[in-house]
Amino acid sequence: MATITQTVSLVDARFFSPIGFYPEEQILGNEFFVTVSVSFPFVNEETEELTNTLNYEKLYEVVSKVMSPKRKLLESAAEEILKAIISLQPTCQRAHVKIKKSNPPFGGDLSSSQVELHYEN
C-alpha cells in the first residue's frame, strides 16, 4: 500500500545570535539563516486542522529558542533543534537542519559557512 509523506519547512529563518567559537562572536553576535524540514505521514482526515500537520509557528518557536543563548558551536545548536523537532513531531520520518553563518570572522573571503544535520527513521 502506498503512503503519502508530507514535508513542512522553514527556509532561511533569519536570526542575529551570539553563537561562535571566538569570544568576540559571543559578544557581538552574527547573522544566521536556519532552514529546517520535517517529513512525516500525511494525514488530512478530510478536515483542515493544525492537529493534522506540523504548525509552522511552533517549529519557528523551537528554532528561535535554540538560536537565542550564547554557545560556541553551530553543531550543538543544530543537534538541539533536531532533537526538539523529533520531540515536537513524534511521527517524524526525516528531518534536516541547516544553519548558515554569514561572514564568518576568520579572514577568508566567503559569504557564509554552514552546518547540516540529517535524521532518518
d(CA 88, CA 60): 12
Q: Residue 75: what pLDDT?
A: 97
39 has a pLDDT exceeding 80:
yes
Q: pLDDT by residue (tens digit) across 14-28?
A: 999 999 999 999 999
For Cα atoms 67, 40, 76, give the angle at the middle one, nearest 5 degrees. Answer: 25
d(CA 22, CA 105): 9
d(CA 52, CA 58): 14
CATH of the domain at 33: 3.30.1130.10
With beta carbons less than 8 A apart as the criterion, state whether 48 and 85 touch.
no
Q: pLDDT by residue (tens digit) across 49-70?
A: 887 889 999 999 999 999 999 9
Q: pLDDT by residue (tens digit) across 83-107?
A: 999 999 999 999 999 999 998 887 7
Mean pLDDT (the chain) is 93
What is the domain count for the chain?
1
- State which residues form the domain around 67: 5-43+50-120
d(CA 116, CA 50): 28
Whole-prediction pTM value? 0.92
